[in-house]
A and B are shown apart, each in its own frame.
Chain A
Amino acid sequence: MFEGLSFGLGAGQALLVTGPNGAGKSSLLRLLAGLLTPAAGEIANPFATAWLGHDNALKAERRLIDELRFWAAVDGTPAARIDAALDRFDLDAIAALPVRVLSSGQKRRAALARTWASGARLWLLDEPSVGLDVANVARLSDAMREHRAAGGLVIATSHVDIGLDDAAELAL
């Protein structure tokens, strides 16, 4: 799909992967997340990684809050962090609803809340702004800015401006 690709990222840095449909943006992120194995070459990712793919990985039958608590248990994050995540992405009012009645934007926010709450150092975000309105894209960029200020790393793909300040750009 692509070859001759090389980049490195340190604390607080961000990388925006751009390119036309089918260029391999998602595949690159899946490689970094360990979901694909490279045909050749090497990937060194020493960080705890949070993955936000096209699929939100939320079960339709379960309440939103139960799903977030489940992933918090998997990540070993405290309950208070889930409350903060709900607050941060304006999910308090819909936390008790089953995921199946939520809109795609609301599910996306829930997936972002899971990423934020995970406490992982590296965020891999594949088209994080899909389905989000302007106010929530602003929430996303605030979250990314804070994450990087605290030494976190962000690698994202996007076709629109998601407010990733002074990020390195990788065009595929």
Chain B
Amino acid sequence: MSAFLALVGRDLALRGARGGLLLPLIFFALVAILFPFAVGPDPALLARIAGGVMWVAALLAALLPVDTLLEPDRADGTLDQFVARGTPLALVVVARTVSHWLGFAPLLLLTTLVASALLNLPAEQLPALVAGLAIGTPALAALGVLAAALTAGLRGAGGLAGLLVLPLALPVLIFGAGVLTAGPGETTAVKLLAAASLFLVAIAPIGAAAALRAALD
């Protein structure tokens, strides 16, 4: 447990030192600013697409730091150190998922408040969007780490990482958008979103640990 906490703490310190804490946020905010320029300032149109745009932006923000999630640890021998000690790679991957989530999601949820104003998100949809992102972002973080593990050791693999895991994010996006349009008292979409998120959070580290093990061999 102390190893797990030490790992999460070091990850966050490293991310802070590299300036990686703000990058996903700036990216997320930029998407929110650019979209009205791209589709035109029609308030009704923006209100219709705002929630979906923010979900896609959150997904891409989660994949933004994929190159820095595991590859540096493979390249500088850190993963070797864990394997030699008998530390399970799954533990490393779960710790990385937690630190990745902490590194982008809480601040991103706050930024949502600003972005929703820029995109003219209907006020009644804001709680559903924030709640949906809070439930769905752990899955996005887990997918980011899975992509990092699958592409560790490959050169210039950032784009490939997106191609690999974007399809897996589909259920989260579909149910996340469903939460936005669910009427009052309808909880089916939230439950399905939570189920999809839990499923991905549970299986992604297993796949990521196996991929890392294969990358070391």
Contact = CB atoms under 8 A, between A and B. Distances in A.
Interface stretch (B74-82, B140-148, B196-204): B74-82
Interface residues of A, number: 29
B84 A73 contact: no
B188 interface: no
B81 A51 contact: yes
The main secondary structure of chain B at its interface with chain A is helix
Interface string A34-51: 111100000000001111
B26 to A, nearest CB: 20
Given A53-B77, A57-B77, A74-B6, A124 B84 contact: yes
A62 B80 contact: no
Contacts of A55: 75-77, 80
Given A35-B84, A36-B217, A75-B85, A61 B14 contact: yes
Nearest to B73: A57
Nearest to B216: A35
Given A30-B80, A49-B86, A59-B14, 20 more contacts: A33-B80, A33-B83, A34-B86, A35-B83, A35-B216, A35-B217, A37-B217, A48-B85, A51-B80, A51-B84, A55-B76, A56-B76, A57-B78, A59-B76, A61-B14, A62-B10, A62-B13, A62-B17, A74-B6, A74-B7
Contacts of B48: none
A74 B18 CA distance: 23
Contacts of A53: 77, 80
A120 B6 CA distance: 19
B139 to A, nearest CB: 27
A76 B6 CA distance: 11
A159 interface: no
Pairs of residues from A and B, 8 with the lowest C-beta to C-beta distance, nearest first: A55-B77, A51-B84, A73-B6, A57-B77, A61-B17, A33-B84, A74-B3, A57-B78
A54 B77 contact: yes
B87 interface: yes
